[in-house]
Structure 1
């Protein structure tokens, strides 16, 4: 939630008058009277990524020696320091320091929240529990957008200080609640603290399972840890790239890399451009709709992981649908990139993409990544994989302007061709190499990987560790009963029909929401007024007050415009301001305004 809130809030802060007055520069051409240097914007984002990268790399060492709870407490402390710096400072250099420290906190939050959840959850609930990461990221994004909306019109420093101050809330609550949360029992076992590990497991399963089943899980853990210690070497870092752990490490890296390979950064970051060419003026409302669609997607994905598909199937489905969405946007842009109809197609497929990315790849990637690696190396492998994810996200952001910029390749939404291919490659990777791990304990997975079982034979492999644990405990029941009642399997036809229903439903919802948000939705007759001239970046054109609804066309390639309700370009429907161009375009040269 913390990660999602900051991601959603920080972009809007850079357009708030109070923030620009301190960290920007006077710009008479801007409706707000201020501009902001692109270097400042880049450093605000990239230093957060750098901090997250560094702390994710350090997560293996820290987590192995100090545990999961101390790592989360450290993240809470770093978050408090970073927020205090960002709220108090009026110096850009100190602001950068605050963003860097916040990145340190985020890296620990992301890595250890997933690691702890995977290690503490029972096998039959682990996929859903780790998928809650994506659930709370979407909740945080929604709250971040709402807070920004209510502070954006403030003309004082409170416009940006209030959203930053909200970053205190979750870590403050977490730092208190952690006192009642037991440490990871698997980490305690690896540190030789067996009595504490047993108490931690009993606390985590309190009242949820009967004594013999708890004893079975405990025995299975003990045997798994003993086997790991037997085959492990002295260096955990090198063990990640030795023997069967090399396979597990590469699969974990591939899963995390698939998040960047989906092209989500491209569609989400450039959705405002799609809104503008579609003639949509209520961009904030549509942004909220898209976040809600993504949130609904996560909920559907969590249900599907538990009751309909396995992890592998939902990853393949998500990659294929996301690839088709990217392909559709690219084809639409190839036909006519700047038409309003094309814009509507782009927005509709962006909404479908948001649903399936969040519900499939976003929801399943971290559960799979944390399950793939051995317990002893989990903090090391997931930490370095998270660092890889940050590098790829930064690389995507760095390269995207070159493809979209009119001064360079000027592909615009046709950039989706690359991401469509990337998604299809991800789907192939999931199909060929990712095993189905649903219902397996982490110790069972250790045994299966040690036996070098091919990915497609995982489901049928009978683990000896289960039989040994049953024998030791004396529980005369089958394994499924020990992990809770398993859901009834759906036939392949039902799975296909369910998937098709989801696609049809959200195609309809996306199209409906898009149409409702067009400024000319109720207009039948248009009168065209043409303004000939040049409105450079940030320039405002006053259209008067006689129009009920308007539509802006005639933009230079690579530029966007926003429609507002008054001549100051600060509210919502009857004036047009040229937004910052993606490339070197001069903005509106021949602005056409259709009114009704």
Structure 2
């Protein structure tokens, strides 16, 4: 929510008279009576991206010593300092410092919220729970646009200080809530804190995982759960705990100590490449091109309510996230929904480019752009946006998750900056003057994404993180993931039964 609010709210500050009075200059030719230097504009945007890039890049170092929860606390503290600097200053140089620090906080919030959620979610719910990232980004974007719309006509400093002050809300609530949230059990196990990890898992699962699994119809030996005529049946919690412990032990025995360079060795190299490509496909969809320049195209094509249509498209994106989360959980799984999303995003980009080719800068073209941009936001947020972070966090091993997801997130910020930097040279009249025909390039990149998802992306729906470790270690091809039967699930069941015995069954 913090990330989405910042994208929507701060991006519009540069059109507010109250903000331009302080950080711009008088300009009689402008509708607001003020202008802003292009260097100031670039630094306000790029320094936030730079801060996010740096913090995501070093996330693995912090995670090694701090864990997921303390890293989020640190992000909340840095966020509070950064927002205070931006609210209090009237000097561009100090404003730049605030933007850089805010970017650092945002990078930690994005990286560690996704890592934590992926690690503590039950396997059958992980896709939906990590997809809540996209859900709350859209809610934050809607709220940011609404706040800006309410304050944009003010002529005093409160016009931009009110939206900035709203950036305190989420971190303050998160800072307090983290006192009631346990650390990631998987991180604790990797640090050798088995008792704390068990306590954290019990707190996370509560009584919902105390139910008994149905006994297997297969005959088993005494050591596998038979005691006289009674079959010992472990609870879901015991199964998950035994599986988690066994997975961590296997990793430590096979891989030894953790190094950042392990991301590029052995079976982890494949997982790292898949994770990087998944985050790269977000940018390859063309989403940053439309987010940054849709209002510009609407205005050029004669659409008089460009700002309102931009809010409408954000709402379409929010609707898409809701549909996408249901589809991930109940219908399609990860791989199919990613393929569908890339196809739909590519066709929307192609339709907009064709309209701009046939009749540039006309009202029908503007109406076409509005329609297909809305469809793009629906399918991007419902498919690629909803599934990308669940997939990226599942793809990598637990011991390297902070390193791999952190550096992948940094790559995402770098690609977003690259798109924002290069797009003006393609669309502006004084350069290539492609306008919305730039969509041809994004259609082609979406076609490449479809090929990547089809041939290389495995289906991981319903698998535990430890099962995925076993499947990748076995070097199973992407198309055979779904039918592969893992050993760790059955051995974890046996271990859970052996640890508890008949007396535990009778008590239960």
Residue 404 (1) aligns with residue 427 (2): yes
- Find the aligned partners of 2:433 and 2:303 in 1 and give their Cα distance: 22
The secondary structure found in structure 2 opposite 1:206 is helix
Residue 235 (structure 1) shift:
4.5
1:176 aligned residue = 176
Map of 1:103-502 to 2, 5 A cutoff?
103-210=103-210, 212-474=235-497
Residue 310 (structure 1) shift:
0.8
- Find the aligned partners of 1:459 and 1:54 in 2 and give their Cα distance: 36
- Find the aligned partners of 1:233 and 1:468 in 2 and give their Cα distance: 22
- Find the aligned partners of 2:427 and 2:74 in 1 and give their Cα distance: 40
Q: CA RMSD in A?
A: 1.0
2:87 aligned residue = 87
Residue 278 (structure 1) shift:
4.2
Q: Which has the higher helix share?
A: 2
- Find the aligned partners of 2:395 and 2:64 in 1 and give their Cα distance: 18
Q: Which has the higher strand share?
A: 1
- Find the aligned partners of 2:321 and 2:8 in 1 and give their Cα distance: 17
Residue 34 (1) aligns with residue 57 (2): no
Residue 307 (structure 1) shift:
0.4
CA contact (8 A) 2:295 2:307 kept: no
Greater length-normalized contact order (CA 8 Å, ≥ 6 residues apart) = 2
- Find the aligned partners of 1:312 and 1:302 in 2 and give their Cα distance: 13
Residue 339 (structure 1) shift:
1.5
1:44 aligned residue = 44
Residue 288 (structure 1) shift:
1.8
- Find the aligned partners of 1:90 and 1:289 in 2 and give their Cα distance: 33
- Find the aligned partners of 2:206 and 2:367 in 1 and give their Cα distance: 52
Residue 11 (structure 1) shift:
1.7
CA contact (8 A) 1:216 1:470 kept: yes
Q: Which runs of no fewer than 5 residues in structure 2 stay unpaired?
A: 212-234, 499-508
Deviations 1:373-396 (A, max 9, x none): 000000000000000000100111
2:502 aligned residue = none
- Find the aligned partners of 1:20 and 1:437 in 2 and give their Cα distance: 49
The secondary structure found in structure 2 opposite 1:459 is coil
TM-score, normalised with respect to structure 1: 0.79
The secondary structure found in structure 2 opposite 1:380 is helix
CA contact (8 A) 1:233 1:239 kept: no
Deviations 1:77-123 (A, max 9, x none): 00000000000000000000000000000000000000000000000
- Find the aligned partners of 1:285 and 1:46 in 2 and give their Cα distance: 26
Residue 343 (structure 1) shift:
1.2
Q: Which runs of no fewer than 5 residues in structure 1 stay unpaired?
A: 476-596
Deviations 1:385-440 (A, max 9, x none): 00000010011111111111212111100100000000110111011111000000
- Find the aligned partners of 1:360 and 1:164 in 2 and give their Cα distance: 31
- Find the aligned partners of 1:16 and 1:33 in 2 and give their Cα distance: 10
- Find the aligned partners of 2:277 and 2:64 in 1 and give their Cα distance: 23
The count of aligned residue pairs is: 475
- Find the aligned partners of 1:273 and 1:143 in 2 and give their Cα distance: 21
- Find the aligned partners of 1:329 and 1:310 in 2 and give their Cα distance: 29
The secondary structure found in structure 2 opposite 1:376 is helix
The secondary structure found in structure 2 opposite 1:74 is helix
TM-score, normalised with respect to structure 2: 0.92
Q: Indicate how the Cα distance of structure 1 residues 234 and 470 shifts in structure 2: closer, same or farther if over 3 A, else same.
A: closer
- Find the aligned partners of 1:161 and 1:276 in 2 and give their Cα distance: 27
CA contact (8 A) 1:274 1:347 kept: no
Structure 1 runs of 4+ aligned residues shifted over 4 Å read none
